[in-house]
Structures are given as structure tokens and as C-alpha cells.
Amino acid sequence: MHLFLVGAGPVGLVTAVGFARLGHHVTVSDIDTARVATLAGGRSPIFEPGLEEALRAQTAAGRMDFTVEPTPPAGAAFSIVCVGTPTDASGPLSTAQVESVVASLLASAPPEHVVAVRSTLPVEGPDRLARLVADRRAAGPCPTVVTNPEFMREGAGLRDFDVPSRVVTGWLFPEDREAAKAVADLYEPLNAPTLVADARSVALIKLASNVFLATKIAFANELALICDAAGADVDLVTAGVGMDDRIGKAFLSAGPGIGGSCLPEQTVALPLLSSRLGVPTPLIDAVSRSNVSHQQAVVGRLGALLGEPLGGARIALLGLAFKAGTDDVRESPALAIARELRVAGATIAGFDPQAAVTARRADPSLDVARDALEAARGAAAVVIATEWPEFRSLDWTAMRAAMRGDLVYDTRNVVDRAAVLRAGLRLEILGRRV
């Protein structure tokens, strides 16, 4: 089947490659001509494990092509919308880009065409799309619009497409249930649990899923601070808690905070919705505040461990992406910590094996080093902020020789403890006993 996909960002590219690997022909459209040229040259503009190799393979097989044209090619049965819903002046999850693309497709695609919106929507987003469809239908037959949120993790996107936890699609009007089912059927070879429902419920499924995951992370992060104060080990505590199958271990991993393009934004969006609806949600409201408080606590802990004022101290920050396996720095805890440290008067030298370019773009004032050793030169402390496997095998003897101080503060529990201690360094790990 021929699919037309709009938006060559992380979600769009992984979705396009996933459908191509299922045997579909996918035409990918993006307004960024440089990005389209990069893709046509067989290179991925984003880092996602396995993505570039899969992209080249599917393009070589003739199952993917790229264009700046906004109109579906003749014969395409479905359009899949994967453009952003970023925070803007109207708040988180702005649907401006989605509405623009959907309006264009309603005007240009034939009536039998189905438009599936994979972009994350606020709960009122489907109503906005329904108004666009209703206005267009008043003038005559037009394509059907349904929703199809994704549940993929950056750094594991291809695997999550191939083995999804579930496939969920939503209809804007009850008479469009069959179109929503037809979109769900595109994923049938993956044998995933499937749910077809009204689009408002589907939007809330997506938001509630991410906010619940963020709540588990925030809970683990607060436990880590308690463990630091009480002399306990957060890994042992969360392992014991996670043995209860009603709770589970997933997302009970303490670290420097919640990051990425989804969870932080949606921990703000859902409380705003509940406020507009007049529904008290003190638990949901607290998740975003907990994240900010936790990152401030991490900086406070670093200052206490350092034993000298942060003002004027050079801090080496290893890891700038919000998690390992991606070059995405959106809402990165590392960059949030860097901002807090600068407020305290510290200077920051950062390093990341994949996210140097995106970090510089997001924070032009950040000094980004070529490698970990350069970042550590003259540093009073080294802070591990992203769980890159590369940080497990650092040459800590060389790092110690380059540093002015002797503190290593690992917020991800990733370093080789014995190697750090053998180098004569002082090691502290967030929520864990060394």
C-alpha cells in the first residue's frame, strides 16, 4: 500500500521506516528542504539507534522516497500526520501545525482518502480537527480524519514500532469508526493489542500514559533524595517496591529528572486541562513541580558535596541529551542542571557523544568540549547527567590528572565505581551507597 507521511522528525522517520519494513511504500514529506535532501542522500538528520541503516535499506529497496510537496501522490490511500505540537504562546501541545497540515490534506486528497493524525494532541485537539472536517464536508465529500497516537520511546523507537505495547486509533465522528479500524489494520502484522475508540478518549489515553510514567520517575527521584538523607540505597528500595506486580519496576529508576519532548510537556498540559474543567487534581499537578524541585536538589547536593562555593567553580557535565540513545536535548535534565549551576555562579563544560550539536543549538552559552577529558580539565567536579555506556569505560586516572578537584557525582549510576575510586577520586552516586 502507498502511504503519505508528513513530518520527518523523530516520530515521523521511525514510523515511515517501520511501515516500509512492513512492505508499504512510504512517501515522506517535510517543509525543510535541507532535511529532505539529507534523507534523499541516505542520511538521518537525527540520531536513533539503527535508524540510518534501516532508512538506507528501505530507500534502496524502493519502499521510501522523500519530497517537499504537501500533497499526497496519486494512489496513496492514507496520509499520516507526524508534525509537532510544541509549546507556544497558547500553551503546551499547540495544534497549529497539525491543523494546517490537516486542512491542506482535506483540500487536496480525494474523498476516499484517510488522514491519520499521529501527533500528540491535547484533549480538545480532536474537537478542533472535527470542526475542520465539518466545515469541509459542508462543501462536499472530503477525506476522513482519525487519530493514531504513538507510544514509542526515543532511543528504542524502531523496536517500539516493531513490538508496540498497543495500537490505539480514534474516530472524530461515530460514522468514521471503520476508517479508524482501517488505520489500526495497518499495524495488524505486528500482532499488538488494539483499541479503537472516540478520539477524545484516545487523546487522554496518550496524555495519561505519559503523565503516569512521569509520576513513577518523579516518585523514584524523590525516593533517591530520601535515601541520600537516610543512608539507604534507592536501587534496592525500588527493586523491592517493583517486585509487587501491581507496581512493577519499569520507570522506577532514579536520575537527574524527567526530560524529552513528551513527558515534561504533558505533565504541564494535563493539569491545565483539569484546571479548565474545574477538576481538582493535586497529584497530577505536583509532578511537574516535583521535577523542578528535584533538579534544584541535585544542584544543592552537588554544592554540599563540593565543600566550596559553586560560584567560580568549573563543573564538567558529562551527558547533554535527555537520555542515552538519542541526540535530543529537549527538556534535558542536564541542560536544566547547567542553568541552575550557572545561576549559582559556576562555569560549565559539557560533553556528549551524540548531542553536541543539538546542545549548542539549544544553549549557545554552553561550552561543549570535544571529549570527556577536555571537559574535565580544571574542573572542581565531574557530574554524570546522561547514562551513556561510554561513561562506564572512562580513563579515570587521566580524568583525575586533568581535574582541579576530586569529586565525581554520578546521577545515573553508570560509572565503574572501582575505577573511579582507584584513581583517587571521591565518588558520590545519587540515592546510592558507594
Q: Which residues are catalytic?
A: 262
List the beta bridge partners of residue 9.
none
Average of pLDDT values for 149-153?
A: 97
pLDDT tens readout for residues 11-34? 999 999 999 999 999 999 999 999
**Residue for grid cell 472536517:** 133
Please give the share of the chain, as a percent, with pLDDT higher than 70. Answer: 100
Phi-psi region of 395 (alpha: psi -120 to 50; beta: other; left: phi over 0): beta
| The last residue of a domain, from among 157, 192, 227 | 192
Reported confidence tier of residue 374, pLDDT bands at 50, 70, 90 = very high
Residues 179 and 214 in one domain: no
| The last residue of a domain, from among 148, 172, 192 | 192
| The last residue of a domain, from among 192, 212, 235 | 192
Residues 268 and 351 in one domain: yes
Nearest to residue 170, comparing CAs of 135, 206, 131, 134?
Answer: 206
Say if residue 39's pLDDT is above 90: yes
pLDDT of residue 434: 85
Number of domains in the chain: 2
CATH code for the domain of 66? 3.40.50.720
For residue 23, the enclosing domain spans 2-192
Q: How many residues does the chain have?
A: 434
Say if residue 105's pLDDT is above 90: yes
Reported confidence tier of residue 89, pLDDT bands at 50, 70, 90 = confident
Reported confidence tier of residue 58, pLDDT bands at 50, 70, 90 = very high
Please give the share of the chain, as a percent, with pLDDT higher than 90. Answer: 97
Residues 9 and 153 in one domain: yes
Report how far residue 412's alpha carbon sits from residue 235's, in angstroms, rounded to the nearest whole number.
11
Average of pLDDT values for 128-136?
A: 97
Report how far residue 150's alpha carbon sits from residue 147's, in angstroms, rounded to the nearest whole number.
10
Reported confidence tier of residue 88, pLDDT bands at 50, 70, 90 = confident
pLDDT tens readout for residues 133-149? 999 999 999 999 999 99
Residues 11 and 106 in one domain: yes
Four-CA torsion 121, 123, 125, 128, nearest 10 degrees = 170
What is the value of pTM for the model shown? 0.94
Residues 187 and 205 in one domain: no
Residues 233 and 250 in one domain: yes
Average of pLDDT values for 67-76?
A: 96
Reported confidence tier of residue 91, pLDDT bands at 50, 70, 90 = confident
Reported confidence tier of residue 395, pLDDT bands at 50, 70, 90 = very high
Residues 152 and 204 in one domain: no
Residues 172 and 225 in one domain: no
Average of pLDDT values for 295-308?
A: 95
For the residues of 363-430, what is the DSSP string, one character each? -TT-EE-SSHHHHHTT-SEEEE-S--GGGGG--HHHHHHH-SS-EEEESSS-S-HHHHHHTT-EEEET
Report how far residue 116's alpha carbon sits from residue 171's, in angstroms, rounded to the nearest whole number.
10
In the chain, the N- to C-terminal Cα span, in Å, equals: 56
**Residue for grid cell 575505577:** 419
pLDDT tens readout for residues 208-262? 999 999 999 999 999 999 999 999 999 999 999 999 999 999 999 999 999 998 9
Residues 287 and 411 in one domain: yes
Residues 316 and 414 in one domain: yes
pLDDT of residue 90: 81
Contact indicator for 147, 167 with CB cutoff of 8 Å = no
pLDDT of residue 427: 98
Reported confidence tier of residue 368, pLDDT bands at 50, 70, 90 = very high
pLDDT tens readout for residues 403-425? 999 999 999 999 999 999 999 99
Residues 184 and 314 in one domain: no
Coil/strand/helix, residue 99: helix
Residues 221 and 324 in one domain: yes
